[in-house]
Chains A and B, each alone.
Chain A
Amino acid sequence: MKRKLFIMLTLMFTVLSTWATPPQQPHKSEAEKFVQNLAKIKSDEISYAYISANMFKQLFIKTDLDEEIQESISFIKSLKSLRRFFTNGKQGYDVMKAALQPLLQEKEEVLGMTLMASNRDGGGMVAIYSGLGNTLVVTDYGNNTTITVVFVAGLSYESFLEFNDLGINFY
């Protein structure tokens, strides 16, 4: 009897525990979490912008862009958000550079993304990472002042290239 009661109580507790569990946050990739944390760095020398997919589409579709671009954008259903960071001073640059170390090393695999392209020129570098449907572009201008990071959640590398073809570039 005691054993039955124990099993029943255990089952009830398990069920109640499940009910009591708060709703899970939508799953975020390692890269998304990394960029989300990046947004917590506050500095007068770091500009930050977040644009939701809705906003992004509204902006484009409601303007006088040619149909080809509008259609292409509307087809990218997976687009979730766009984040951009931009440093404009030594202090902001140093802070951002330290935070971006995993990405600036141009490893072939990092934060669940694959290095798709990189280029070094005149002390600067550009690296494009993509994985799990997200794309990230990091640009170090090599002037000890400017680093930009653009992270587009929900944009595959193929779509990213498609945007490029349309003349919409992310720096």
Chain B
Amino acid sequence: MKKILFTLTILLLATGSLVAQEITNPELKKFIEELNASENGARNVSKDEEKGIYVINSVDKESYKALSAIIEKYDIYFAEEIFGMELMFSTRESGSQTTIFQGDTYGLAITDNAHSLDLVVIIVKGSAAKLFFEIRETGDAEIHSHEVYFNNRDSDVYIGESSITGERPAELIDISEAESIERRIPGDIILELFDYYMPMIQELKRRAQNATSKEELKMLKASADSIRDVWEAEIALIDYWIDQRVAPGEVKIPSTGKVFIVIPKNAKSGIYEWINSTDFCNTEGQEYNILTATQVAMLYTTKKKEPNIGWNLESYSDSIKTYFASEIPGNEPTYLYRRSITAEGYERMKNDLQQFFYLDGKNKNHRYKGFKTIERIDTNEYCFLHLYDGCTTILIYDSPTGKHCQMDIIVGGIETFNDAMNEISINGKRDIFKEENIIICDGKIELMEGEVDINGVTYDSGVHFTTGYMKKLK
């Protein structure tokens, strides 16, 4: 806010359009004298008497307190009129308040940030608010932040399509609702919808400006309203889908067909919160995906059509097909992977995951985000971690020399993949994966027959989950 007022001041100083006169309003003059007389602490004072500008701002705690006391004495923050000036607007947010008065001759702007002990008083000969608008119309980015009063979803008055700039989707839904929805819906989905619908509304708006009759104007407005309704309904629908989810999964955007990965709002495992965090979702330079049982089934179907797969997929029993074709509530073998694809992606991923590498594998009580080390392999080329939190399994493979990092997360109450085989029961029958000899590898299903060697360990059957690196060992 101080920056805004500073910008305002600089622009005021630059205009040179103000009449060169000293302050003549006696009350205002007295107020300025009191501000000047305050000797506590350090202050910055700047005056341009020729242009009629006076600025004072606090520099330390003492001056902040002294200036605040004068402001309070005049009850400026609650006044609707002072020194013959009308209160134009006042906002208070997160401990910061900005107030602007406008009179025929003078303008007064005050910004007060109690947290940073920053108080700035600007008095101008002329109309502060008028100048404020003139500046705003120049499109100054700083000034745009003032428009939060009117059309930013972060706060305040919601004004439908008639928002001042018409550039933001604030007209979609109420601001507060938007915030709460956004906490559940990934920002990417909101942006996707915005990019899809907003051009349509802008186009209608453009046509409305050139409308030649009231009927045409009404028709265009009705079309814009209709688009907004669809947009809003789609958001509500997506929100509902996400709300219904019990495990991470995909959501397909009806309008655009694009698929997004979403994490349930009330995930049972703390790992979901982390997965859903901004840091985790910043997967630039990385590949990131979640596969649900349904998707696994789809992969299975796809593979079936590949002639050179080498496996007799027809040998799958009906029961496993049934399993893959439907999600079993609470028992979804959801699989998430994240792997670096660039050096930058690798560095970011290493940074995100570093705490897992610090875990003391010998101490079973040593946990990070609830995870303890089940297995750790360190070689000259790579480090492999197998982590478990009582619900979710994480496998991390890090190759500093190859600048490659991969993390795989399998969700469900399983500690090992052999456990998974024992846990999953289909039609009352256990060990079905074992019977089917299935490996999930890099998100793909592959059948194996007989023994398989994974990282030096021989498994004779079962569900084996391998990272990209482990696949090479096979």
Give chain A's interface residues, CB within 8 Å of chain B: 36, 39-40, 42, 44, 46-52, 54-55, 58-60, 62-66, 68-69, 81-82, 84, 86, 88, 139, 141, 143, 145-146, 148, 150, 166-171
Specify the chain A residue showing the minimal Cβ separation from B161. Answer: A167
Q: In the complex the two chains form, is B89's CB within 8 Å of A52's CB?
A: yes
Q: In the complex the two chains form, is A50's CB within 8 Å of B87's CB?
A: yes
Is B190 at the interface (CB under 8 A from chain A)?
no
Kindly list chain B residues whose C-beta atoms are within 8 Å of the C-beta of A51.
88-89, 149, 157
- Stretch in B170-178, B293-301, B319-327, B402-410 touching the partner: B170-178
Which residues B172-199 have CB closer than 8 A to chain A? 174-177, 179-180
Specify the chain A residue showing the minimal Cβ separation from B176. Answer: A146
- Please name 14 further chain A to chain B contacts, defined as beta carbons within 8 Å, in addition to the given A50-B87, A84-B156, sorted by A numbering: A49-B157, A51-B149, A52-B80, A52-B88, A54-B86, A54-B88, A58-B133, A146-B180, A167-B171, A167-B221, A169-B158, A169-B160, A170-B158, A171-B174
- Stretch in B62-70, B91-99, B350-358 touching the partner: B91-99
Q: In the complex the two chains form, is B157's CB within 8 Å of A66's CB?
A: no
Q: How far is the CA of A42 from the CA of B93 in the complex (A)?
A: 9
Q: In the complex the two chains form, is B176's CB within 8 Å of A55's CB?
A: no
Q: How far is the CA of A161 from the CA of B286 in the complex (A)?
A: 51
Kindly list chain A residues whose C-beta atoms are within 8 Å of the C-beta of B473.
none
Kindly list chain A residues whose C-beta atoms are within 8 Å of the C-beta of B174.
139, 171
Specify the chain B residue showing the minimal Cβ separation from A69. Answer: B162
Q: In the complex the two chains form, is A48's CB within 8 Å of B93's CB?
A: yes
Q: How far is the CA of A82 from the CA of B157 in the complex (A)?
A: 9
Given contacts A49-B156, A52-B87, A171-B175, contact A143 B180 (CB under 8 A): yes
Q: How far is the CA of A145 from the CA of B180 in the complex (A)?
A: 10
The interface on chain B, measured as residues whose beta carbon lies within 8 A of the other chain's beta carbons, has a size of 41
What 10 pairs across the A-B complex have the smallest Cβ distances?
A167-B160, A48-B92, A50-B90, A47-B93, A146-B176, A49-B91, A55-B88, A49-B156, A171-B174, A51-B89
Kindly list chain B residues whose C-beta atoms are within 8 Å of the C-beta of A86.
155-156, 175-176
Least CB distance, A66 to chain B, in whole angstroms:
6
Is B281 at the interface (CB under 8 A from chain A)?
no
Kindly list chain B residues whose C-beta atoms are within 8 Å of the C-beta of A55.
88-89, 129
Least CB distance, A22 to chain B, in whole angstroms:
14
Q: How far is the CA of A148 from the CA of B153 in the complex (A)?
A: 13
Q: How far is the CA of A48 from the CA of B442 in the complex (A)?
A: 52
Q: In the complex the two chains form, is B217's CB within 8 Å of A68's CB?
A: yes
Least CB distance, B201 to chain A, in whole angstroms:
12
Kindly list chain A residues whose C-beta atoms are within 8 Å of the C-beta of B32.
none
Q: How far is the CA of A59 from the CA of B156 in the complex (A)?
A: 15
Specify the chain A residue showing the minimal Cβ separation from B156. Answer: A49
Specify the chain A residue showing the minimal Cβ separation from B173. Answer: A171
Kindly list chain B residues whose C-beta atoms are within 8 Å of the C-beta of A166.
162
Given contacts A52-B86, A54-B86, A169-B159, contact A63 B180 (CB under 8 A): no
CB contact between A50 and one of B91, B150, B221 (< 8 Å): that residue = B91
Offer 9 A-B interface pairs, CB within 8 angstroms, sorted by A: A55-B89, A60-B162, A63-B164, A88-B179, A143-B180, A146-B176, A148-B176, A167-B160, A169-B158
